[in-house]
Structure 1
Amino acid sequence: MPNWDELLHDKDEGVYIYDLTALKERAKSLSVSRHRIFYAVKANSDSRVLKTLMPFVDGFEVASRGEIEKVRMLSHDVPIIFGGPVKTQEDLKYAIEHGVTSFNVESLFELDELQTFCMEKDCHLTIQLRINLADIKNDATLKMAGVTQFGLPEEDFIKAVELIQSSNNMELSGFHFHAMSNNMDVKNHLAYVRTACDFVKRHQQLLPPEPVINVGGGFGIDYQQEKTFDMVHFMRQAEEMPLLTFEIGRWLTGPVGYYAARVYDIKQMHGQNFVLPNGGTYHFRFPKAWFHQHPFLVIKQKQKRSRRKTLQQVNAVIAGKLCTPNDVFGPAYYFEDIATDDLIVFKFAGAYGREISHLEFLSHAKPEILYI
């Protein structure tokens, strides 16, 4: 656990802390697998996070031009997989011009654009078609397959295969699947991966002898800290399967990040307690987005100001400094003891924290990032 007093003694506005040592250890634990591990940049695109992960992963999965740029600023040749449901002509052009040769394709329109660019540039691309499997059993927080907007509709699947086969510049190397996000059930996740492997086996005649079987990520973090996803057991079971490609984000970076802010004020309004840190959901939107009680610590501090307010053994809403009642970190939290000038430190803020937050709202200062 970081030395919070040393890290944050002079910090008043909200800050992020990324423990790069812990990140390296998590990445090392995956690098021993024979399967291909790609990091899903969407989880945390910080340049030092990417640089720390680079020696331990086979490449990076991106979903935008901006993410391609961030990866290419660190390496001109590290493998990149380009995914996402809406890739425009400019997106695809930028990707090809920056050395991306592997695409998770979700649309016939996307294939049309890729074919045009391949012919113009005389380049060769490997294509994985994203398949939306129905009836995947899971209790994950977010369901990414079934009745969603992701993947090729069934009626477009054969058309997509025919278009690739008719091209001299594109090769169907395999299929991409991604069925869940923040899944905690190892048994269900293994069953999903086996279903994906069965789909590949049924369509083996369309594919090369050793096809790409990209099963995405979706490995979860229990934000209520009641259980963990047993990655060791999962990977041990996966050793018996064909060669797989994983796109892992949250599991790698989520536990190694923190968001901290100092308590500016404490109020009671019409029977409701409020704790107001000098920060807000514009820095750390995740607890509001999922509207849950995010795990946190209170770091007691010496009082800096002459006026002091306290709360003890009560529930209170944590609310930020934005001019909207929506700037709350989920439902009310229980506080054993908190006072103005204390620090609130949210744990598990290393994935989908800063990246999904509305940093420009009200033009407040962006959070500083500290590294361990």
Structure 2
Amino acid sequence: MSAREPVCRYVYDLDGLSAHVRDVVAALPPRCRMFYAMKANSAPEILRTLAPLVDGFEVASGGEFDKARAAGDGVPVVFGGPAKTEGELVRALTGGVARFHVESLLELHRISRAAVATGRTADVLLRVNLAGPFPDATIAMAGTPTQFGIEEAQLPQAMRAARQLPGVRPVGFHLHSLSNNLSPSAHLDMVRLYRDKIAGWERAFGLACDVVNVGGGIGVNYAQPDVPGQVGPQFDWTGFAAQLSRLVDTFPAHWREVDFECGRFLVAAYGTYETEVLDVKRNHAAHFVLVRGGTHHFRLPSSWQHSHPFRVRPCEDWPPDLPRPEAAGTPVTVVGELCTPKDVLARDVVVDRVRAGDVLEFVHAGAYGWEISHHDFLSHPHPEHVFHGRMPG
């Protein structure tokens, strides 16, 4: 045991990911397009797997734009994010960006200046922060004070600028109001609200949209039921798509494209974070399972304040000269190797048995895991990244 490093890795199922995304895209009604929101997981292997399956990538930085281009020169890219730099705008324009999602009046002017400087015309969608109200979800992007989008009351001013500024062509609106919504009916109600809002803006401003982006926000249920390593019921995409088809039939015919930009919903289920138990101990009547890893590898549970679902993979190999602590039939809190009590992956979860040397497998870890983590805090080694399955080419 002293001669090897403890198990610590992300494992991705590319074949399962491909099958899932094919089904998701195939269920979409005509005019609807699926863009992959790269912020969920931008590993090159993930991007190369998804590039031929989705209608394009949604990026939120110059770095993500470069990764999208590395995955495929011909992949359409739309550029969002609340704080774009002039350098990023120029880079995207010269790299053939399909369109920008504009977050403010100043950003409109910056895009105009970059477009003129590069001799290009930038297609833009105005991202509007609606007044709401919206369905309950884990994170609200609109209907409340946030840094996202143009306040609905300021839309007339932004619309005038978009029409007057050189190098800018307004082609529609972007509305992304929440994240991790698990209710298909609530999501349909939100899209219906978007339809009515945009139809009203078209009448008020005398324009006809080519493109409407209804954002992402379709969620993943991380709730852990009584069966270890399982999660609760997920968003019913098939039922949602069937109802969406009827709703899209009510959209104006000139809305030639209705874009979705999903991330978590596409990739979360196809990644697992596996980490070895280094110790099991009791402090003040509570049992702690200490693992090789933690929030510096997998920050999602800490960020969202939930106990992430995991299963225990027993490992029988253990040095006979070492004690082997365990916990059985009792609640345990899974913590990492960082010097902070906030390094928690799961709290008060009852396990049948867990011992030092066993491996915990955190499921549904394919989105917002490694990407949002503070990798180099305390300078611990990074986990391995293992990809199973076939990539195009």
TM-score exceeds 0.5 = yes
Cα contact 1:64–1:91 (8 A) shared by 2: yes
Q: How does 1:327-346 map to 2 (within 5 A)?
A: 327-346=343-362
> Residue 123 in 1 paired to residue 137 in 2?
no
Is the contact between residue 287 and residue 293 of structure 1 (CA under 8 Å) also seen in structure 2?
yes
The structural deviation recorded for 1:74 is 1.6
**What is the CA deviation profile of residues 40-92 of structure 1, one whole-angstrom value per residue up to 9, with x for unaligned ones?**
00011111111111111110001111111111112223111111111122221
Give matches, 1:5-16, under 5 Å. 12-16=6-10
Structure-1 separation of matches of 2:130 and 2:208: 23
d(CA) in 2 for partners of 1:361 and 1:13? 19
The answer for the alignment partner of 1:3 in structure 2 is: none
CA distance in 1, matches of 2:207, 2:5: 56
CA apart distance, 1:132: 1.3
More divergent stretch after superposition (151-160 vs 230-239): 151-160
Helix, strand or coil at the partner of 2:312: strand
Correspondence 1:269-348 to 2 at 5 A: 269-306=283-320, 307=322, 308-348=324-364
**Structure 1: how far apart are the matches of 2:153 and 2:140?**
22
Aligned residue in 2 for 1:156? 154
Shift in Å at residue 156 of structure 1? 2.9
Q: Which moves more between the two structures, 123-132 or 165-174?
A: 165-174
Once the two structures are TM-superposed, the CA of residue 221 in structure 1 deviates from its matched residue by 1.1
- Cα deviation, residue 11, structure 1: 6.8
Instruction: State whether residues 35 and 262 of structure 2, in contact with CA within 8 Å, keep that contact through their aligned partners in structure 1.
Output: yes
Q: Is the 8 A contact 2:14 2:46 kept in 1?
A: yes
Instruction: Give unpaired runs (5+ residues) of structure 2.
Output: 224-230, 252-256, 389-393
8 Å CA contact 1:105–1:127 kept in 2: the answer is yes
CA RMSD of aligned residues (A): 1.6
| Structure 1: 5+ residue stretches without partners | 1-9
Partner residue of 1:4? Answer: none
* Residue of structure 1 in register with 2:37 after alignment: 40
Q: Is residue 215 of structure 1 aligned with residue 207 of structure 2?
A: no
Moved over 3 A (4+): 205-210
* Secondary structure class of the residue paired with 1:325: coil
**Secondary structure class of the residue paired with 2:352:** strand
**Change beyond 3 A, Cα 1:110–1:189:** same
* Partner residue in 1 for 2:19: 25
Which letter maps to 1:21? D
Q: What is the CA–CA distance in structure 1 between the aligned matches of 2:345 and 2:326, rounded to whole Å?
A: 19
TM-score with structure 1 length normalisation? 0.94
Q: CA distance change for structure 1 residues 61 and 362 in 2, over 3 Å: closer, same or farther?
A: same
Once residues 295 and 328 of structure 1 are traced to their aligned partners in structure 2, the CA distance between those partners, rounded to angstroms, is: 13
Contact (CA 8 Å) 2:202, 2:209: kept in 1 or not?
A: no
Matched, 1:369 2:375: no
Superposed displacement of residue 208, structure 1: 5.8
Is the counterpart of residue 251 in structure 1 residue 245 in structure 2?
no
Letter in 1 for 2:126: L
User: Is this contact kept in 2: 1:51–1:74, CA < 8 A?
Assistant: yes
Hey, what's the Cα distance between the residues in 2 that align with 1:344 and 1:154?
47
- Secondary structure at the residue paired with 1:332? strand
The total of aligned residue pairs comes to 363
Q: Residues 82-113 of structure 1: CA distance to partner in whole angstroms, max 9, x if unpaired?
A: 11111122221222232214000011111111
Between the aligned partners of 1:327 and 1:293, the Cα distance in structure 2 is 12
Q: When the two structures are superposed, what TM-score results if normalisation uses the length of structure 2?
A: 0.89
- 2:132 matched to which residue of 1? 135
| Distance in 2 (alpha carbons) for counterparts of 1:251 and 1:207 | 36
1:293 CA drift (Å): 1.7
Counterparts of 2:201 and 2:21, CA distance in 1:
33
| Displacement after TM superposition at 1:137 (Å) | 2.9
Greater shift in the superposed pair: 87-96 or 334-343: 87-96
Corresponding residue number in structure 2 for 1:98: 95
Q: Given residue 331 of structure 1, which amino acid in structure 2 is its aligned partner?
A: R
Deviations 1:210-244 (A, max 9, x none): 52110111111111133221101111111121342
**For the Cα contact (< 8 Å) 2:296–2:377, is it kept in 1?**
yes
Q: How big is the shift at 1:315?
A: 1.1
Match of 2:242 in 1: 236
Deviations 1:308-332 (A, max 9, x none): 1111101111111112221111422
The CA deviation string for residues 240-288 of structure 1, in whole angstroms up to 9 with x for no partner, is 2134200011110011111010111111122221111111110011111
1:121 partner letter: T
CA distance in 2, matches of 1:160, 1:290: 34
State the identity as a percent. Answer: 39
